[in-house]
Structure 1
Amino acid sequence: MKFLDLARVHIRSGSGGNGAVSFRREKFVEFGGPDGGDGGKGGDVVAEAVEGLNTLIDFRYQQHFFARNGQGGMGKGRTGASGDDIVLKVPVGTEILEDDQETVVADLTQAGQRVVLAQGGNGGWGNLRFKTSTNQAPRRANPGQPGVERTLWLRLKLIADAGLLGLPNAGKSTFLAATSNARPKIADYPFTTLHPGLGIVGIDGAEFVVADIPGLIEGAHEGRGLGDRFLGHVERCAVLLHLVDGTSDDPARDWRTIVRELVEYGGALADKPRVTVLNKVDALEPEARAEAREALAAACGGPVLEMSGVSGEGVPAVLRALRARIEAARAPQETEPEPWRP
């Protein structure tokens, strides 16, 4: 199945049915009176988050979704049938945006969550509704309300507890493959990862979800490389795991490159908790290893862990650090009880 995280759809709700103008025609009933029924309501367009989906590929082959119109009213006071709703099933974590791709209409973060994107038009009143003591034979009825037509964007943001960051070939996919059952593509050339992936990682009896995104390069916010379009998949993460290649000529410069791209991306992504890890330490001599760690610690101004995704050295310590940050972020905020008032 191909991965698609952005799709444009055109939707239109159903129009309401017209009210009917009708009069009773029964044998031996001299003054039958009006009996026109109301029109039926038009169908709604609804979006629903469902489990088992992790891509928007279905919306590449169908972009137009039109709900059915309501049926017109009929004689003998019969109301027209309402139009059927149409439901857009999207993955959990889908954002629905206006056509400007900035205004958020809805954010579906839980399975079963539903939102009405276009309300169907109400049906018109039949002439039975207009009967009064002074107008006992009305010959008017209301038309049904038109449906709503709009263009929307669907943007998928994966739901994960931790997100992987780093330059191309920093070892993100190797780490994910070594700690989970995920099988991302691994090779010795840049941009091996072309789309985000998820893996379930376990440590000390606890499990959490890790998201791997394609590597960033300098100028990604300007569209260089694969750009920063995939950073949205780590916006929901509680903690970011920043992997720095220890075999690089300047690990501190690599760290600053990624942080700069996070700042240019905007939002609260740059302020999220980060765990900085010097990766591929198995390929370094002890002196070069210590020197790279000191330079990286001076650049980030905090602790730096060491790890090798190939040999497994330091991986448990990194997972425990991630677990601690996740539990701290996901813990419910304790609120002080309100004082008693008579």
Structure 2
Amino acid sequence: MPVIGGIASGDVTEDTALSGNHIVIEGDLTITDADHDQSAFVAQASTVGDHGYGSFTLDASGHWTYTADNNQAAIQQLGADDTLTDSFTTHSMDGTADQLVTVTIHGTNDAPVMNVDNVMPVEDPSGNGVMTVSGVTVSDVDAGSDTFIVTAHADNGSIATIGGDSLDPADGGFTGSFDEVTALFTDGAVYTPNYSGLTATDKVTLTVTDGHSGSDTVNFIFKQYEPNGGVTLNGTTGKDWILSSTGDDLMTGNGGGDNFVFAAQSGNDTITDFHAGTDHIVLNGYGIPSAQADLTAWLADAGNVTETGGSAVIHLDANDTITLNGVTKASLTAHDFIIHPAGA
């Protein structure tokens, strides 16, 4: 009877040492059989593992390879302490001996992702900026429950939920589950300027952190105080919401996937580095259609979007425009816009 030895197990880790988008591990079994020409295995090609996460190949010498799609939900949902196994059975040439080969897939922590539905810039009668954030949700591809900490830091003013919950890092922020974080922002959060130390602009940084130190951050950049009209608004290299004021603003995203927000009486603004297909123009309260087909038709209308010197100019109404430096009219699509109708 043949004797099988060698490597019959292996360990791999989600998102680690990938070949393309695949997890790959190899090993070698050995086989000894006293019978002449029987020290070999039955070759197998693309045999699906017993749990179906990946597939095995085996040649006659005993060399096996396991391959699994790293992006499949079952693997991406693994947390830092989670594992999956996948196995297949090898057979000796004479059919009298078998060996189970098992691969263990270890999970890693995937950082949570924070999404924001809308941000409304408002100015009080003195020209000071007030910002309201709504529809903040947190998602995490890792399965199972986790606890999240939400904090918000303003460079100059302060921010808290409308319900009165403190988000100040000095207070430890807000700690809760997915559902509790979502409920926290049901009514939104509001920014209050620092009236004793007003600067032209402010930045609020909203961060969510999971129990394994994975985090995501969204930055809000806006006018805090400028009695003479427009301001220069500079984003970060991360995820930004950049809010126009009632003056003529110069807005720069600086990469990272940015949302540029405009509301009625926003003036004649310029975005210096809009990236069609990556960034978004968020329009609040304008009479612009939100349905994709209708918005596509609106963009095609010669009176709504013009082009000057290779830069598209979007005419929001009789008084408000957005100039996109270096972006042609033809490159814009409905997917570059997020529309919130009046009252939405």
TM-score by length of 2: 0.33
Structure possessing the higher radius of gyration over alpha carbons: 1
User: When you count strand as a share of all residues, which structure comes out higher?
Assistant: 2
